[in-house]
Amino acid sequence: MSATLHYFDGRGKAEIVRLTMVAANVPFSQELIREKKQFEDLKAQGKLLFGQLPLVEYEGQLLVQSGSTARYFARKGNMLGSNEEEKLKIDILFEGTRDFNGAFMSYGFIGFKEVLDKAKTTAVPKYLPVYNSVLSKNGSNGYLVGSKLSLADIGLLEVVLTIEELLGEEELKPYPEIQNFLKTMRSNESISKYLNSDKRPRKNDEKYVNEVKSVLY
């Protein structure tokens, strides 16, 4: 059954949900929220538990909160670990990627260069060495935990793609395990297809920022 994602015409907090659905081979369509009325209608219909997006409608359920939604689809795709130890590691590493990715979430909303300058000097040197080390200790097989794709990998993929796009691939060169990881992720047919499709939104720009603000405020 296909899912329906309601979100703005950008990556934002919905990108981790998109990537997880793609990795779990859950087909989905997108209802782009461009006008305030669309957002208000969803709230009036009682579909937004906390009055926030993204929202995914799937099999009669209303899924909100991006982390919970990502875990839901990761569970369907068997990406949460095969034993308790793996499950714990995946959860910890995934949460770390959420903190890491948070350094880029305000890109465009509180400036473009300002956000990147701060992320480059704080988040990047804090988190990339950690994940590079974890990948190495896991056997340099391109995965963070075990020998297959997990939600932790999806979380790291999102932020590594952001770094590559916004800061340049030079930022990744000191981290060979991260580079190998990215190569492994791109070798996944479903992920590769999504990344090269028009289903993946563009990076934040002024048009997107203004559109989001016009809906929310």
**pLDDT digits 0-9 by tens, 61-117:** 999 999 999 999 999 999 999 999 999 999 999 999 999 999 999 999 999 999 999
Instruction: Tell me if 149 sits within 8 A of 188, measured CB to CB.
Output: yes
Q: What pLDDT score was predicted for residue 1?
A: 83
Residue in 167, 186, 175, 179 with CA at minimum distance from that of residue 128? 175
- In sequence order, what DSSP letters do the residues of 85-125 get, joined into one string? HHHHHHHHHHHHHHHHHHTTTTTTTS-SHHHHHHHHHTHHH
Q: What pLDDT score was predicted for residue 45?
A: 98
Q: Which residues contact 92 (CB under 8 A, 6 or more apart)?
A: none
Q: How confident is the model at residue 156 (pLDDT cuts 50, 70, 90)?
A: very high
Phi, psi of 32 (to 5 degrees): -80, 130
Cis peptide before 174 (omega within 30 of 0): no
Q: How far apart are CA 143 and CA 152, in angstroms?
A: 9
Burial of 169 (0-12, 13-18, 19+ CB in 10 A): exposed
Q: Which residues contact 215 (CB under 8 A, 6 or more apart)?
A: 8, 33, 34, 35, 36, 38, 39
Q: How far apart are CA 21 and CA 148, in angstroms?
A: 16
Distance from CA of residue 36 to its chain's centroid? 24
Tokens representing residue 167 in the block: 């800061």
DSSP 14: G
Does the model's pTM come out above 0.75?
Answer: yes
Q: What pLDDT score was predicted for residue 158?
A: 98
Instruction: Tell me if 70 sits within 8 A of 54, measured CB to CB.
Output: no
- Averaged pLDDT for residues 198-208: 96
